[in-house]
């Protein structure tokens, strides 16, 4: 089974503009958007972490992803791919910086985007 993490926009999550991360989760269940690639495949979301913050430490996203690995390993689980949440992939002004750090530090498949539903009204 393919195990997937989502990296989401902290701004949106803190303001509760995407309660429960439902857009990403529904898209995964329906295999829509960037999750269409898993149609007919056994795949699951094992965690959702946020970018850290708008200002400051670009490494926070990497730290969050690294910290996820501990409990996953303890549970005998793996992490095979990271989807960059559509909130971040489409609108984040720091996306390229954050992705650069993740690509440098985390050896894992990175896919930009999750769902293509109407985004929260923030930007
Ligand atoms: S850095 Fe980008 S993804 Fe993170 S909170 Fe700010 S806008 Fe959202």
pTM over 0.95: no
For residue 75, what are its two tokens? 């549970």
Rg (alpha carbons) of the chain, rounded to whole number: 14
The answer to the question of residue 57 being in a domain is yes
Question: How confident is the model at residue 118, as a pLDDT?
Answer: 86
Indicate the number of domains in the chain.
1
Question: How confident is the model at residue 112, as a pLDDT?
Answer: 96
Rounded Cα–Cα distance for residues 54 and 36 (Å): 29
| 18-59 tens-digit pLDDT | 899 999 999 999 999 999 999 999 999 999 999 988 876 667
- The residue whose C-alpha atom lies closest to atom 3 belonging to ligand 1 is 9
The answer to the question of residue 117 being in a domain is no
| 103-114 tens-digit pLDDT | 988 889 999 999
Q: Domain holding 8: CATH number? A: 3.40.50
Expressed as residue numbers, the domain containing 6 is: 2-112
The answer to the question of residue 120 being in a domain is no
The answer to the question of residue 118 being in a domain is no
pLDDT above 60 for 121: yes
| 121, HSE (Cβ side, Cα atoms, 13 Å) | 0
Q: What is the mean pLDDT of the chain?
A: 90
The answer to the question of residue 93 being in a domain is yes
In the reported structure, the alpha carbon of residue 76 is separated from the centroid of ligand 1 by a whole-number distance in angstroms of 31
């Amino acid at each position: 089974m393919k195990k997937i993490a989502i990296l989401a926009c902290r701004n949106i999550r803190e303001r509760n503009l995407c309660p429960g991360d439902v857009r990403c989760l529904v898209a995964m269940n329906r295999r829509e958007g960037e999750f269409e690639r898993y149609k007919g495949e056994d795949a699951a979301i094992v965690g959702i972490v946020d970018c850290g913050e708008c200002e400051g430490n670009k490494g926070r996203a990497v730290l969050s992803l690294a910290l996820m690995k501990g409990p996953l390993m303890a549970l005998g689980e793996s992490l095979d791919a990271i989807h960059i949440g559509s909130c971040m992939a489409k609108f984040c002004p720091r996306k390229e910086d954050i992705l650069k750090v993740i690509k440098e530090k985390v050896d894992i498949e990175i896919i930009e985007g999750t769902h293509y539903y109407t985004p929260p009204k923030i930007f």
